[in-house]
Structure 1
Amino acid sequence: MSFTPLASDFYGFEAKLTETEREALAGIRSWLETDVKPLVNDHWDRAEFPHEILPAFHRQPAFGMQWDETKSFENSAVYRGWVALELARVDASIATYVGVQNGLALGAVAVCGSAEQRAEWLPKLTDGSVIGAFGLTEPLSGSDSAQGLRTTATREGDEWVLNGSKRWIGNATFSDITVIWAKDTADGQVKGFIVPTSTPGYTATKIERKQALRIVQNADITLENVRVPESLRLQNANSFRDTAAVLRLTRAEVAWAAVGVAVGAYEAALAYTQERIQFGAPIASHQLVQQHLAEMMGNITASVALCTRVSEMLDEGTQKDEHAALAKAFATTRMRETVARAREVMGGNGIVLDYDVTRFFNDAEALYSYEGTREMNTLIVGRALTGKAAFV
């Protein structure tokens, strides 16, 4: 399939992709435009997930490709970033589904699982025969998960007994497994467990009345004496440092998704300004509107540049926590400004779902907070700059 760069890729960053990667991205872009984009506003309005797209979705080159057991071709972290951007450019919830399935759930097994666990679960998570979720955040523990985790794991013979609760867990209303992070009552260390959602004592309840990422099915999870065999404990997850290693791999892709949200809002606003007539001319010809568009493009371009470099560093093996943290904090902040400008140039129609921008506007608030708030990511960068931790 021929590849046409996005008009919003103002400095031509997509040219950094290989020919194979560009062809793969073109296929994803075409499928999203044809099969997914027409569905998203109605599903967002009803707060429903389009399960019917999943079989075809998992045939797209968007899953599993960074892990040896599942990759279909050699590709870069920059390509994976562009996939996240492309998905979020159509809908942030669809990008979040992939981030949970392919980044967090699959990534937890890939980073922290044994060879046997990787061989069993990674292909299934890649082809969608198993849907995964990632249970870290709790009702009373978010930014302080490293120290404040309250869910417990107690070993009894060849089994572990899990008790506690989780909140804001994406995909969890329909996942087959959830990776649960719990504190070992024996040594106080955080460990990970592959928990089949059919296990007695495991309950997932959909969080209602959300006004962002309405397509994503977030859940409250309750764990009451959930028994998991030792064979389902992630064998290489022995402390929160191992949990953090998974998050490090996905945080930069959240930054890319934030750019995608900004691009989607910008493109919708740009199209609107060329069609909307005021004072006898399209509003795109008005100076103040052009200023908004130029500011949006500056935000997008700066964010793409930052995300490109941090992904290159991941490929090079030089990316550190502070690099991913800066990308996430910067890109989500610029996203927030961009969607606000997009809404502004559209006037009253900017709050009507049919014009797309209000969906991006609302969804931006979720990306701004998850996988580390702006404040927490800023403190990670500040610690690297000064050598002093200011978290408390």
Structure 2
Amino acid sequence: MTDPVVDRYGFAERHLGAAARAALARLAETLERDIRPLMDDAWDRAVMPGEVLDALIPLRLMDPPGVDADEVDTSMFSGFRCFTLARSDVSVATMYTAQAGLFRTAVRHGGSPEQAERWDPAVRSFEMRGVFCLTEPDHGSDIAGGLATRARRQGDTWVIDGEKRWVGGADVADVLAVFARDEADGQVKAFLVDRHAPGVDIRVITGKVSLRPMQNAHITLRGVRVEEERRLHGVNSWRDVAGLLRRMRSDVAWIATGLQAGALDAAVRYTTSREQFGRQLGGFQLVQEKLARMLGNVTASLALVTALSANQDAGVWSDENSALAKMVTAERARESAALARELLGGNGLLLENDAARFFADAEAVYSYEGTHEINALIVGRSLTGASAFA
């Protein structure tokens, strides 16, 4: 699966077996043939076509046929899956990762072994579609201490009150993984809430300028009742939540890297087909300099995220490594997407040329799963031993 334009150093060949690369190649083919033609209209109308998931589910990307289970269940394969999806469209990557990354991580690593064994097959097959509900209207970066959604136990039932915001995919989910503070001990717990349960209200957020096909929601929970057996028994404090986030942040770094690759694809495609002043646009020095910067960004980002995933697959998980990768790749994505838009001139504002989608979506990736500043403070704390958080 080595791409001479982007993966000049053969990262995929070095880190993935032939069967895994073949599964990703099938994904790339499906994205190009069945999904990419839908996305301009989807972006323009701010809808996610049902055909997108219909095309992805049969690929069984969480357990692809012919690929050894031990390889699929790695940060490396998950990362290259995110990269391939985001290279086509960041909303598609975000939608799929909401299930395969956020929700699945909550179930597998936030649930007890028995809960994970019971629910994970349904998550992999999309029989159980779920979303991760952590961010709140008044608490994003300060969610660790500020989480305001409350849960109180009444016998074998919990009653939840609160609000969640920016929850991607909630409008089509079956289950909401809701994080709430236990009124009894002040610790954060997690619950699998039926989205149709009495007291659950889901409203799609409109007016977005990024990730337009990906539907984000504002969720209100008023007296929502959840059985104890639907509480994720591995989440009993913020430390447990942080462990989940540590695993998820690497996916976002891979998405930021894939975004850069997609922006570079758009820029190369345009500059090698467009003529100005009687010659190919790609033959001008200033154009080539910008393309070279973009390739440098995506290559450096690939080196960083593959190193991160290799460490994680070796059992080395750290907040600072994930935070550094997300911080750097998202910043490089912002620059690369802007360069792609710039190289296309006025035509870079048209959806049909792809650069506009990556340009707008880079802003969302820059902010979600920890802002640049929050991730910088996590890294800075690891360097100095002193916390600069307020």
- Provide the residue aligned with 2:276 in structure 1: 278
> Do residues 174 (structure 1) and 172 (structure 2) align?
yes
Q: Which runs of 5+ in 1 are unaligned?
A: none
1:376 aligns with: 374
The CA deviation at 1:131 is: 1.1
2:19 is matched by which residue type in structure 1? T
Q: CA RMSD in A?
A: 1.4
8 Å CA contact retained: 1:263, 1:300: yes
Residues 64, 114 of structure 1: CA spacing in aligned structure 2 closer, same or farther, 3 A cutoff? farther
In structure 2, what is the Cα distance between the partners aligned to 1:56 and 1:384? 42
In structure 1, what is the equivalent of residue 32 of structure 2?
Answer: 33
Offset, 1:72: 4.6
Equivalent position of 1:391 in the other structure: 389
Distance 1:55 1:262 in 2: 26
Q: Which shifted more, 122-131 or 230-239?
A: 122-131
Matched, 1:295 2:299: no
Question: Which AA in structure 2 matches 1:38?
Answer: P
Match of 2:17 in 1: 18
CA separation in 2, counterparts of 1:181 and 1:234? Answer: 10
How far has the Cα of 1:221 moved from its partner? 0.1
Asked if the contact 2:2–2:12 (Cα under 8 Å) also holds between the matched residues in 1, the reply is no
Asked if the contact 2:330–2:366 (Cα under 8 Å) also holds between the matched residues in 1, the reply is yes
Query: Aligned runs of 1:135-174 on 2, under 5 Å?
Result: 135-174=133-172
Deviations 1:184-216 (A, max 9, x none): 000000000000101100111000011100111
- Alignment size in residue pairs: 386
Which whole-Å CA distance do the structure 1 matches of 2:186 and 2:68 have between them? 36
Structure 1 stretch displaced more, 52-61 or 81-90? 52-61
Contact 1:33 1:90 in 2 (8 A): yes
Q: TM-score, normalised by structure 2?
A: 0.96
For 2:305, the aligned partner's letter is: C
**What percent of counterpart residues are identical?**
47
- Other structure's SS at 1:74 match: helix
1:241 offset after TM fit, Å? Answer: 1.1
What letter is aligned with 1:45?
D
Give the deviation of 1:282 after TM superposition: 0.7
Cα distance in 2, alignment partners of residues 126 and 6 from structure 1: 32
CA offset digits 1:308-336 (Å, max 9, x no partner): 00000000011311001000000000000
Q: Equivalents in 2 of 1:35, 1:324: separation in Å?
A: 33
Q: TM-score, normalised by structure 1?
A: 0.96
Question: Per-residue CA shift, 1:85-119, capped at 9, x if unaligned?
Answer: 10000000111012210111111010011233212
CA distance in 2, matches of 1:55, 1:290: 39
1:92 counterpart residue number: 90
Instruction: Tell whether the 8 Å contact from 2:301 to 2:328 is kept in structure 1 after alignment.
Output: yes
Residue 58 in 1 paired to residue 60 in 2? no
Equivalent position of 1:209 in the other structure:
207
Of the three residues 322, 344, 365, the one matched with 2:342 is 344
Counterpart CA distance in 1 for 2:37 and 2:69 is 28
Corresponding residue number in structure 1 for 2:45:
46
Q: In the aligned structure 1, how far is the partner of 2:2 from the partner of 2:236? A: 46
> What per-residue deviation string (whole Å, max 9, x for no partner) do you get for residues 328-355 of structure 1?
0000000000000111111100111111
Query: In the aligned structure 2, how far is the partner of 1:185 from the partner of 1:319?
Result: 31
**Preserved CA contact (<8 Å) 1:77 1:315:** yes
Question: Could you tell me how far 1:64 is from its partner in structure 2?
Answer: 5.9
Partner of 2:99: 101
Deviation at 1:388, TM superposition (A): 0.3
Answer yes or no: is the 8 Å Cα contact 1:63–1:102 preserved in 2: yes
Distance 2:387 2:333 in 1: 27
In terms of mean alpha carbon deviation, does 29-38 or 306-315 score higher? 29-38
